[in-house]
Chains A and B, each alone.
Chain A
Amino acid sequence: MASYTLKVRRYQPEAEEDGRRGAYWETFDVELDPTLSVLDGLLQARDGSDGTLSVRCSCRAAICGSCGMKINGQSTLACKTRIGEAAAEAARISGADASGPLISPPAEKELADGDGAPGPGTESAGNEPIVIEPMGNQPVIKDLVTDMESTHWKKFRRVTPWLLPSGPPPEREHIVPPESMVDVTQSVACIQCGACVSACLSMEADPEFIGPAALAKAYRFVGDPRDGQTTERLYDLANDPHGIYDCTHCFACVDVCPKGVAPMNQIMRLRRLAGHDHDIHDVNNGRNHELGFVKIIERKGTLDESLLLQESYAPGVKGKLLPRAASIKGLLQSIPTAIRGIRTGKMRSLPKLIPGVHPKLPGDAQDHVKAIYDRAEESRIQLNLYVIGEGGEEDQAAEAVEPESVSEEPSAT
């Protein structure tokens, strides 16, 4: 048994008394074994002292996907997070906070406004409060309960989430390659908990983004040899302005997923299937933009931003010499973004953007870059934990399956 403090971001929509209107923080002291979960801690608080504390939960074993929330700023399942480890993480963040400019969870900054929350520095390092908040990118209904229907489930339905077989069912089962079923089982393993939606940075910028969970669901059908609408699905997802090219490749979803679904990997596989295998030229220029990165780095080793816009909208020599009207329009529309990028320091200063002055890599570094490209092109490593096993370790099954490299396709934006 050990003591822990849970600092919970609360919202009681019907509360009328001062201090409980709007969102506020409240701390709960709980006592339990360090190997038990943060959910166990929350339930102890709810069952023992405050029955108004609302949290969805059911299986307690990371199967039902109910208890998605942010713990110490990280989107995860409360049932899967050991309370002892969460407390250690809270202490680590707090220590890092005091000593340097590392990123702290947003919660910490609002700590000072009281509402029963202890002031900074009142706890010993061993009992730093575990900060618990509802998931992000979803409206909050009450306490840790979010409105997944208007966000997550709506997007889920967006990808036509059912099998569209190519013909009438066979007399017995469909005969399919065994590894194809293992392959899509990575997406099937998704429990729809919403942790990836909560963590998705692209969705923060574009709330309409179909998002990691729904796109992983989409791959589940695209990758299924029994589905008869593969091209149509890919065409749809590539041309939606909030579709597969809206992902910025930040890895947040891969990082937080409690089930190893690696949604971003599924999105990258959708991109490759759409752009490379099905040769879909999307109206968003997502494919060209992506190839722009690939081409520029293959030639120069680092990103020459002066070429990026042109490669995205009017690729190649032909595009440069004979740009289409749509390309010119796209280029012109991008100018404000480019200016904003330069102003905010996200792009390099103007003189360095003059074509031709981009520095070369030192020594034979460019040859190494070329070698990486060659390796990537000759193999297609499928990053699928169901196939290669967690961490890879001594399981070298990856070699047995169609190899692929996720790093073959650099980020789009």
Chain B
Amino acid sequence: MPEHDVLVIGAGLAGQRAALAAAERGVSVGIISKVHPIRSHSNAAQGGINAALAVDDTWESHAFDTVKGSDYLGDQDAIEVMCREAPDELLHLEHIGVTFHRNEKGELGTRAFGGASKARTYYVADITGQAIMHTLYEQLMKYADQIDRYEEWFTTDLAIDDEGHCVGAITRNILDGSTELFRAKSVILASGGNGQIWHPTTNALICTGDGIAMAYRAGATLMDMEMIQYHPTTLAGKGFLITEGARGEGAHLLNAKGERFMETYAPNKMELASRDVVSRAEQTEINEGRGFPDGTVALDITVVPRKRIQEALREIVLVGRDFAGVDITREPIHIKPGNHYTMGGVKTDVWGRTNVPGLYAAGEVACVSVHGGNRLGANSLLDTLIFGRRSGEDGADHAKGRGQGSVPRSALADAEAAVEEIIGRAHDGGRRVSEIKAELGATMDGKVAVFRDEEGIQSALDAVRRLKEEAAGAAIDDRGSVFNQDVLGAIELQNMLEQAEAVCMAALERKESRGAQYRTDYPERNDEEWLKHIDVSRNGGEPEISYSPVTITDWQPEERTY
């Protein structure tokens, strides 16, 4: 039975940052990931990381942009924390080796990004997430004495003691199928978002929100689940991401008539309005017949100088060439809004603490909430690092001076039995896991996307509940122990369906339009009734909705134009 002071589940940016921060406080750390840490989805963050580091920039300006971007649903105390601490975090990354772009003087250089009043996005070409995550992984190697890595271990559930404290996790070693109960004094969830509930999505196949589902089952409260970001520039069909950095470098959005349509929707910021605004503008153009026949509009990067493209947007040159057959340096590429980011998640305070004692959450799995109704580009890397570090620090402090909790012995046996039940299911003509997942993805993308209404969301909710039943009996093919990905797929599907239900319930509940939630039946923002978070929890039974206040410090809600 492995034991650690702090156990981190998930090894992308938030998880690795949490593990390193905890290790620096002198405690023993275990970090578990269902894929090798280097495969984590933080890799995909292309554009950069925001920080008010320049002498003529202020954290207040960054915070205001974030508050406005969130459509005033972000908690301002948390946003202040994130923006104040951003410059130091960025310098820390530079000091441990991230190869950030430099200006001519050799200092850190920036690029422009959406929704920001200053160019404050720091970057490594368009592989910023990858560059930072690989650097953190290097540091994990450096701290190998203190941090044990469990690479390719799939956590099925959290271990909760009789008093409701989180005291560990139950995890399956993918390599040989053995199950272990990991004991820990603090458990930090850092297992990412749930984009795979939608299809298409920019998210990797691993982004099934397992941590959100696990915490939900363990009694944690979920918040802002209806807030799902659709990124304005994704490839049609496959959902691949074209970085916002392209627009930051000056690329234009054009409809089929060749018009730069953002003039109508955001005359000041144009293509660099916040993502919900740009996605809605695109979808409106497409819905009103001004898009291309394949249901897209065009992103024209040819207006950016070639040398600059090669230097700063090389990855998307490859994406265009390899996945769309388009040379983006020579012709516009067809794009549309696509599922991208989970603003909601496990509700936490500014130290990553959830309502379950001993359980923390950081990064996309969590909802602090710094993103509110809409996340600004290049704030997600920042979120993972700031709240990853803070969770690691507080998790370490929490662990100090405590003994290991006691886990009911049955927990391990129950978890093993649940997995064996899936493996042992007989094929009785029911649907395959992949079919159920495909229907879920299409349903959510059809009904709970850029534009929503009551009828659509309700039909999605009904479908999700039906799919839950079907999934409970879905048989799999692989009966083995070694690298049984089939059974993991079935567990992930259950996790996704639980979250999808919460998403639909919250989307149905919020009868207004704010940020990523645009209700065609309630097209206005309604601060009087809905300037509040929607919480979903499931204390052992059916999901229940409740509300919590939005923290407002310096910035009163006002009309939001770009």
Interface residues of A (CB under 8 A from B): 12-14, 35, 47-48, 50-52, 54-66, 80, 82, 141-142, 145, 148-149, 153, 157, 161-163, 165, 169-170, 172-178, 181-182, 184-185, 188-189, 191-192, 221, 224, 226, 259, 385-386, 389-390, 394-395, 397
Known: A59-B44, A64-B43. A163 touches B100 (CB 8 A): no
Tell me which of A60, A141, A142, A184 contacts B205 (CB under 8 A): A60
For A80, the chain B residues whose CB sits under 8 A away are 322
**Smallest CB separation, A407 vs chain B (Å):** 23
Do B43 and A59 have beta carbons less than 8 Å apart? yes
Do A61 and B100 have beta carbons less than 8 Å apart? no
Output the nearest chain B residue to A13 by Cβ-Cβ distance: B482
Do A224 and B107 have beta carbons less than 8 Å apart? no
Cα A57 to Cα B141 in complex, Å, equals 24
Do A66 and B39 have beta carbons less than 8 Å apart? yes
Tell me which of B43, B95, B99, B107 contacts A184 (CB under 8 A): B99
Do B97 and A389 have beta carbons less than 8 Å apart? no
Cα A191 to Cα B108 in complex, Å, equals 24
One digit per residue, 1 when the CB lies within 8 angstroms of any chain A CB and 0 when it does not, for chain B 202-218 equals 00111000000000000
Tell me which of A14, A224, A259 contacts B97 (CB under 8 A): A224
**Smallest CB separation, A389 vs chain B (Å):** 4
Across the A-B interface, the 6 shortest Cβ-Cβ residue pairs: A51-B477, A47-B434, A163-B97, A51-B486, A178-B102, A162-B138
Do A188 and B486 have beta carbons less than 8 Å apart? no
Output the nearest chain A residue to B97 by Cβ-Cβ distance: A163
Do A141 and B99 have beta carbons less than 8 Å apart? no
For B433, the chain A residues whose CB sits under 8 A away are 47, 51
Do A52 and B43 have beta carbons less than 8 Å apart? no
Do B205 and A58 have beta carbons less than 8 Å apart? yes
For B103, the chain A residues whose CB sits under 8 A away are 178
Cα A48 to Cα B489 in complex, Å, equals 13
Do B310 and A395 have beta carbons less than 8 Å apart? yes
Do B306 and A59 have beta carbons less than 8 Å apart? no
For A54, the chain B residues whose CB sits under 8 A away are 483, 485
Output the nearest chain B residue to A149 by Cβ-Cβ distance: B151
Cα A358 to Cα B486 in complex, Å, equals 64
Size of B's binding interface in residues, CB under 8 A? 68
**Smallest CB separation, B281 vs chain A (Å):** 25
Do A188 and B138 have beta carbons less than 8 Å apart? no
Cα A221 to Cα B39 in complex, Å, equals 22
Tell me which of B94, B240, B480 contacts A173 (CB under 8 A): B94
Do B43 and A175 have beta carbons less than 8 Å apart? no
Known: A141-B483, A162-B139. A173 touches B91 (CB 8 A): yes
Q: Is B413's CB within 8 Å of the partner chain A?
A: no
Do A185 and B175 have beta carbons less than 8 Å apart? no
Inter-chain pairs besides A52-B480, A64-B40, A188-B134, 20 sampled, C-beta below 8 Å: A14-B481, A47-B432, A51-B433, A51-B485, A54-B485, A58-B35, A58-B206, A60-B240, A61-B323, A141-B483, A153-B36, A162-B96, A172-B107, A173-B107, A176-B106, A185-B99, A191-B130, A224-B99, A395-B306, A395-B307
Cα A288 to Cα B130 in complex, Å, equals 38
For A165, the chain B residues whose CB sits under 8 A away are 95
For A51, the chain B residues whose CB sits under 8 A away are 432-433, 476-478, 485-486, 489
Do B100 and A181 have beta carbons less than 8 Å apart? yes
Cα A394 to Cα B329 in complex, Å, equals 12
Q: Is B38's CB within 8 Å of the partner chain A?
A: yes
For B127, the chain A residues whose CB sits under 8 A away are 185, 188-189
Do A226 and B108 have beta carbons less than 8 Å apart? no
One digit per residue, 1 when the CB lies within 8 angstroms of any chain A CB and 0 when it does not, for chain B 404-437 equals 0000000000000000000000000000111000
Do B306 and A394 have beta carbons less than 8 Å apart? yes
**Interface-centre pick from B44, B124, B318, B476 (highest chain A CB count, 10 A):** B318
Q: Is B104's CB within 8 Å of the partner chain A?
A: yes
For A149, the chain B residues whose CB sits under 8 A away are 151
For B35, the chain A residues whose CB sits under 8 A away are 56, 58, 64, 66
Do A52 and B477 have beta carbons less than 8 Å apart? yes
**Smallest CB separation, B68 vs chain A (Å):** 29
For A259, the chain B residues whose CB sits under 8 A away are 318
Q: Is B25's CB within 8 Å of the partner chain A?
A: no
Cα A188 to Cα B99 in complex, Å, equals 8
